[in-house]
């Protein structure tokens, strides 16, 4: 039992948690590499309870039980010169990784088979080492692609592996993610998002530049990972031919492909069967243990529990940074402000807290901050969504706090004609929990505090439902069309939902992206050039004809921003309504959004950074949403430039061109006024109401278009503009013909 002596604690105040921790028994296990077909995980569960002192505001005590994982270690990332001490140190670290001991058998097995499945514990060294081993073999031609579901993982891994190769990033080892690429003609190992690999297939359907494609973190089963896997299966058949034919002829094809599928937590057998009984290699072992604690009772308020746990660690535990997993950006912001408040009240002698948020829509420069060294006498607290869950090593992290929650997107194709998306906070899966705990223990003995009970862990689903069965397929369908594939003919590991396939087809046909025979049109090909939902890309292209690209690009950038434009103001409703009234436009919300953006652009020029912050606050608009929209706008303009589209076409204050452009993409989101004041969808069965937050909520417009539907007590349309019925008659497809 380790009891922190009272003298080492800050004086007791209502804002500081106090905790007695029981010692973590972390029997260290020698790292081993298993390269056979038997799964060999040991279960060293060892439960301990942690007696907690009264937490912040006298809330109930946090109690944890401990179980055990083993971990791995490494030191700081730096681009090292090949003769330098740093470089030698990196080589030593490489040699100590568990996977190093199985290197030869691993290479032997890969050489013998077209497809190999590698299942290895988090931190065993799969993602950084396997591509380097293959490169160092010297017997493979072409580039080595390593796909990642997330861009932050792709960029940080490329940085690390460049350093391990003693080469500047972007030379031998590079990366490619949306809107950012560091590669050169000499690049041999390329970390890239699976979305980028799909984009590459648009120009090179057989991926001929690659000799090896490694699909990492396959357990996540994102829609894009599944598309990559299905495409690779087809490419293998075309590039490699059949094994028995090759053997009969005594030689292989000229440019054969090797595929390697990796994860720490996947259903290896399923992947093996998908690739005609490909061999499964198990890499076992980590260098450092991770002690796992569960709360002894379930927590109703995970934010409060995370806050208390962080201060328990901060006050009682030795140095080491803390990584907290939260479902989304709102939670991150809310916890960040509470942490700042309490951290500012810590007494003298307790180290400073450096808070670093990490979520997908955070600008790259801010994301990069989490990888910077922690200042002396400080503890870094990283507040992350599940983008930090897989593949990522954040040097210095010794503690993980796992709320057990995530945001999950789900598409309901059967509802409301065009389908309906939800983004709800849900419980994570066992596989995510294992990945999250794996982020600790990479720098030494790690600790993971799960803010849920062990029973809750045991009853979690093993892994996530494949995204292909719960997402809108419109965008993926279009991309596949461009690479000459048909989504419903692809050899997917799990078949997509047929309703979703039908709904995606219908949407693409309505947009004129495909014709009556399901062939891709030129317009469809152009839509696929934009990193936008096809509906939004159609709006953008329509704005060229209506000479209002400038206005429409701003509106689309705001619609694509991940944060709401207006801040929550329930406590100051009157002041907020008064401020917002300035932006009102008779046509509704799209022009009102544009008014906000125009005013913001003006204030930025006239008042500078300090001025526009205050302006956002006074006007109850979300600065983050505007900043993010500003970035997206710049990116969209860049793409338009590349396509020869003039993005400065402006309609001034004339609303009609913008409304006509919006209608071109929102054809499935049109509704007509009913005598009782509700609206009936033109392309769907539902009766909807205008959301109270809309500027049109108290108006009766004969016809409306809307961005999305929200289900609460009623079905509400949100992001609404009034349009003339005569505009709608310009689109004969709105009569509701179905594609078969």
- Which residue ranges make up the site for ligand ATP (CB under 6 A)? 72-74, 77, 97, 120, 122-129, 156, 160, 264, 390-391, 393, 395, 438, 442
Closest distance between ligand ATP and the C-beta of residue 340, in Å?
27
**Distance between CA 524 and CA 507 in Å, rounded?**
11
Which DSSP string do the residues of 321-332 spell out, in sequence order?
EEEEE-SSHHHH
Q: CB nearer to ligand ATP: give 371 or 695.
A: 371
**Distance between CA 667 and CA 610 in Å, rounded?**
41
**Distance between CA 295 and CA 451 in Å, rounded?**
6
Closest distance between ligand ATP and the C-beta of residue 75, in Å?
7
| E strands in 183-304 | 189-193, 210-215, 258-263, 280-283, 290-295
Q: No. of H helices and E strands in the chain? A: 23, 22
Element housing 198 (H / E): helix 194-203
Closest distance between ligand ATP and the C-beta of residue 72, in Å?
4
Q: CB nearer to ligand ATP: give 73 or 171.
A: 73
Q: CB nearer to ligand ATP: give 129 or 272.
A: 129
> For residue 520, what are the β-bridge partners?
514
The token pair at 184 is 């050169």
Q: CB nearer to ligand ATP: give 271 or 706.
A: 271
How far does Cα 341 stand from its chain's mean position?
Answer: 29
How many Cα atoms occupy the beta-carbon half-sphere of 128 within 13 Å?
31
Query: Nearest-CB residue to ligand ATP?
Result: 74
Closest distance between ligand ATP and the C-beta of residue 442, in Å?
4
Q: CB nearer to ligand ATP: give 434 or 651.
A: 434
Q: CB nearer to ligand ATP: give 77 or 592.
A: 77
Furthest C-alpha separation in the chain: 81
Question: Residue 149 in contact with residue 157, Cβ under 8 Å?
Answer: no
Closest distance between ligand ATP and the C-beta of residue 427, in Å?
21
Question: Residue 359 in contact with residue 324, Cβ under 8 Å?
Answer: no
Closest distance between ligand ATP and the C-beta of residue 127, in Å?
3
Q: CB nearer to ligand ATP: give 72 or 299.
A: 72
Q: CB nearer to ligand ATP: give 52 or 124.
A: 124
Closest distance between ligand ATP and the C-beta of residue 281, in Å?
13
Closest distance between ligand ATP and the C-beta of residue 434, in Å?
9
Q: How many CB atoms lie within 10 A of CB 318?
A: 9
How far does Cα 161 stand from its chain's mean position?
Answer: 22
> For residue 413, what are the β-bridge partners?
none
Reported residue count of the chain is: 740
Angstrom CA distances, 679 to 173, 695, 737, stand at 56, 16, 21
Q: CB nearer to ligand ATP: give 397 or 557.
A: 397
Q: CB nearer to ligand ATP: give 100 or 710.
A: 100
**Distance between CA 261 and CA 267 in Å, rounded?**
11
Closest distance between ligand ATP and the C-beta of residue 400, in Å?
12
For residue 547, what is the DSSP state? T
Closest distance between ligand ATP and the C-beta of residue 271, in Å?
15
**Distance between CA 8 and CA 643 in Å, rounded?**
64
């Amino acid at each position: 039992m380790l009891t922190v002596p009272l003298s080492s604690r800050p004086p007791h105040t209502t804002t500081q948690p106090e905790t007695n921790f029981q010692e973590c028994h972390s029997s260290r296990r020698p790292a081993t590499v298993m390269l056979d077909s038997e799964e060999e995980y040991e279960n060293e569960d060892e439960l301990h309870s942690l007696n907690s002192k009264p937490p912040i505001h006298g809330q109930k005590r946090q109690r944890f039980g401990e179980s055990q994982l083993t971990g791995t270690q490494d030191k700081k990332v730096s681009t090292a010169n090949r003769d330098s001490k740093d470089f030698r140190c990196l080589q030593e670290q490489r040699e100590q990784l568990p996977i190093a001991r199985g290197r030869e058998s691993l290479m032997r097995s890969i050489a013998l088979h077209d497809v190999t499945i590698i299942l290895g514990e988090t931190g065993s060294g799969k993602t950084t080492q396997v591509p380097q081993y293959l490169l160092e073999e010297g017997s493979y031609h072409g580039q080595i692609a390593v796909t990642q579901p997330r861009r932050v993982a792709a960029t940080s891994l490329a940085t690390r592996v460049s350093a391990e190769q003693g080469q500047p990033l972007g030379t031998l080892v590079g990366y490619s993610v949306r809107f950012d690429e560091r590669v050169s003609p000499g690049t041999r190992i390329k970390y890239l998002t699976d979305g980028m690999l799909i984009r590459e297939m648009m120009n090179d359907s057989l991926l001929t530049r690659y000799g090896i494609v490694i699909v990492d973190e396959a357990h996540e089963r994102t829609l894009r990972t599944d598309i990559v896997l299905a495409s690779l299966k087809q490419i293998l058949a075309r590039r490699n031919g059949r094994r028995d034919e090759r053997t009969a002829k005594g030689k292989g094809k000229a440019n054969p492909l090797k595929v390697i599928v990796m994860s720490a937590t996947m259903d290896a057998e399923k992947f093996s069967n998908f690739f005609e009984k490909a061999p499964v290699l198990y890499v076992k072992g980590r260098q450092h243990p991770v002690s796992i604690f569960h709360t002894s009772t379930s927590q109703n308020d995970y934010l409060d529990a995370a806050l208390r746990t962080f201060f328990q660690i901060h006050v009682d535990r030795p140095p080491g940074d803390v990584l907290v997993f939260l479902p989304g950006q709102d939670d991150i912001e809310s916890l960040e402000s509470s942490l700042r408040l309490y951290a500012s009240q810590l007494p003298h002698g307790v180290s400073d807290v450096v808070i670093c948020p990490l979520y997908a829509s955070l600008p790259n420069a801010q994301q990069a901050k989490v990888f910077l060294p922690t200042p002396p006498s400080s503890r870094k607290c990283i507040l992350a969504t599940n983008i930090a869950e897989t593949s990522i090593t954040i040097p210095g992290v010794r503690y993980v706090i796992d709320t057990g929650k995530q945001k999950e997107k789900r598409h309901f194709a059967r509802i409301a004609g065009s389908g309906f998306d939800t983004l709800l906070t849900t419980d994570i899966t066992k596989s995510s929990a294992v990945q999250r705990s794996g982020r600790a223990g990479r720098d030494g003995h790690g600790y993971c505090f799960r803010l849920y009970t062990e029973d809750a862990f045991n009853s979690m689903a093993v892994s996530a439902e494949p995204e292909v069965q719960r997402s809108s397929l419109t965008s993926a369908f279009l991309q596949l069309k461009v690479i000459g594939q048909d989504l419903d003919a692809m050899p997917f590991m799990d078949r997509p939902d047929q309703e979703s396939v039908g709904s995606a087809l219908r949407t693409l046909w309505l947009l004129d992206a495909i014709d009556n025979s399901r062939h891709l049109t030129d317009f469809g090909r152009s839509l696929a050039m934009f990193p936008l939902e096809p509906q939004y890309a159609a709006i953008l292209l329509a704005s060229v004809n209506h000479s209002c690209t400038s206005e429409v690009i701003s509106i689309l950038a705001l619609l694509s921003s991940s944060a709401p434009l207006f801040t929550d103001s329930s406590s100051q409703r009157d002041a907020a309504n008064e401020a917002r009234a300035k932006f009102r436009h008779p046509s509704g919300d799209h022009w009102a959004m544009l008014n906000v953006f125009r005013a913001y652009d003006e204030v930025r020029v006239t008042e500078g950074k300090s001025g526009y912050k205050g302006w956002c606050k006074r006007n109850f608009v979300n600065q983050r949403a505007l900043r993010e929209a500003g970035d997206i706008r710049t990116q969209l303009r860049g793409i338009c430039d590349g396509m020869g589209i003039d993005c400065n076409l402006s309609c001034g204050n004339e609303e009609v061109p913008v409304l006509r452009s919006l209608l071109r993409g929102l054809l499935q989101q049109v509704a007509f006024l009913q005598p009782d004041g509700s609206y009936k969808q033109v392309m769907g069965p539902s009766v909807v109401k205008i959301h109270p937050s809309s500027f049109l909520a108290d108006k009766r417009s004969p016809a409306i278009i809307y961005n999305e539907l929200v289900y609460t007590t009623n079905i509400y349309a949100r992001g609404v503009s009034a349009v003339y019925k005569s505009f709608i008659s310009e689109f004969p497809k709105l009569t509701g013909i179905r594609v078969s």
